[in-house]
Structure formats: C-alpha cells, structure tokens
C-alpha cells in the first residue's frame, strides 16, 4: 500500500513541480516557435479556455527502470477550473487526494484517516500546486519560459515539453508528453519520463467535460 501510494504521489508531484516555475510568460508566447507549433498551441489553448469542469477515469502505469516491472493504478479525477482537484485511486488499493486553494486533504485505505496539510503556512507548496493548471487547464504558453517544445505528431496532436538545462525541473524530469483526443478538446494521455529512467503514463478514459459535479466527487473520507 505504501509503495503504491508513493508511486501515485510522486507522479502527481512531478506534474505539480513541472509547472512550479512556469508562471513568467514571455511577451510573445509563440516567440521562437515554428508556425505550425505556434498555431497548434493557440488552438489547444482556445479549446482549454472553454473547460469549466472535468470528470474522467484514469489508468496510471508506473514503469520502474531498476526493477523492470509496471505498477498500475486505476481511479477517477474530478476538477473545477480554478477551484478543486480530486484524485481517487480505486484499484488495487483505495487512496484519495483533494487539492484546493487552502488545503490538501488525503485519505488511504490502510489508516482510514484523513490528513490535512494547510497551505497557508507553506507558500512554496501552494505556489507549486497552483501551477498544476499548466497541464490540466491547458495553460501551455506559460511553460515556454522553462521548456523546449516539440510538435511530435499532428493527427492526433502530440506535444513534448523538455526542461531547459537551466530549469529546476531538469533535475527530475526528462520530458512531459501530452497526447490529445482527435477532437482536441482534452488530453488523452500524459507521459512523464524521469531523469532517472522511470516513466509514468496516465491515460484518461470516459472523459466528460463541463457537466455538473457533485460534492461527493470531492469527498476524500471513504469509510465504506
């Protein structure tokens, strides 16, 4: 249980950490990009701007280079743009994390207890968590300060972000690759390649956009 929980948290923190220093946007976000890549990013951000809520299932596969095996987690994600983000791992164990602008709440099947981490006393963590919007809310232009960007494929769109040598993320990440659905309305997959050789693939399935969410979707205390 603890190993699986650490695998999940590390993957989530990679996404958070990857956006931590990506707020200072260049005057022209498309500066230095080729016309096709610039047009693609602008188009994807236009789609993302219409995103208000997200409900999706996910399959997370963690490949450990040292052990040559794969750990697979399955669960659900609920997100309100600019508000709350909830990750619920359902298999092979149950584990939940809720991120808001004030607190992180987490629950696991092993302890059956809810732990809270207030963000008011941890400004660095709060700033880092704020930047998760880079990947989940489609704020891709804000990553251009610290990342080289490559258009890997146009149909469906695949974009790869590679940390510049001067970026803090270069110490832990090799690249983050985003694969979009054919209609480009949202992500189909995120592939995280770590500097140490491990990788994490998160696939999104049965994704529903802009439908009302319930309070229960953001509840982490699962007693049953």
31 pLDDT above the threshold of 90: no
Residue 185's closest CA among 82, 90, 48?
48
To the question of pTM greater than 0.85 for the whole model, the response is no
Side by side, the strands of the sheet bearing 103-108 are: 114-118, 103-108, 95-99, 85-91, 69-80, 53-64, 199-209, 187-194, 173-180, 157-163, 147-154
Q: Which residues are 78's β-sheet partners?
A: 55, 86
How many percent of the chain have pLDDT more than 90? 41
Q: Can you list the domains of the chain with their CATH numbers?
A: 2-218 (2.50.20.10)
Q: Find the mean pLDDT for residues 171-191.
A: 92
Helix (H, G, I), strand (E, B) or coil at 165: coil
Contact predicate 17/35, CB 8 Å: no
Cα-only R_g, the chain: 17
**Which of 16-20, 21-25, 45-49 shows the highest mean pLDDT?**
45-49
Alpha helix segments (H runs only) across the chain:
2-18, 35-48, 123-130, 133-136
Rounded Cα gap, residues 150 and 71, in angstroms? 28
């Amino acid at each position: 249980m603890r190993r699986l929980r650490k695998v999940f948290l590390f993957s989530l923190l990679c996404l958070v950490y990857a956006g931590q220093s990506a707020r200072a946007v260049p005057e022209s976000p498309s500066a230095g990009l080729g016309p096709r890549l610039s047009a693609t990013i602008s188009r994807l951000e236009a789609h993302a701007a219409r995103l208000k809520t997200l409900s999706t299932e996910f399959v997370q596969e963690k490949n450990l280079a040292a052990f040559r095996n794969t750990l697979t987690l399955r669960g659900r994600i609920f997100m309100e743009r600019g508000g709350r983000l909830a990750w619920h791992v359902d298999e092979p164990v149950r584990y939940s994390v809720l991120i808001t602008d004030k607190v992180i709440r987490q629950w696991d099947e092993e302890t059956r207890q809810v732990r809270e981490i207030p963000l008011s006393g941890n400004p660095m963590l709060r700033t880092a968590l704020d930047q998760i919007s880079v990947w989940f809310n489609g704020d891709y232009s804000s990553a251009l300060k610290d990342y080289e960007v490559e258009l890997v494929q146009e149909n469906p769109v695949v974009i790869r972000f590679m940390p510049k040598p001067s970026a803090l993320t270069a110490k832990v990440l090799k690249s983050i690759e985003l694969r979009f659905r054919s209609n480009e309305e949202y992500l189909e997959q995120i592939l995280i390649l770590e500097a140490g050789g491990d990788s994490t693939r998160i696939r999104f399935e049965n994704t529903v956009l802009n439908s009302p969410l319930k309070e229960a979707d953001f509840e982490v205390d699962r007693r049953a």
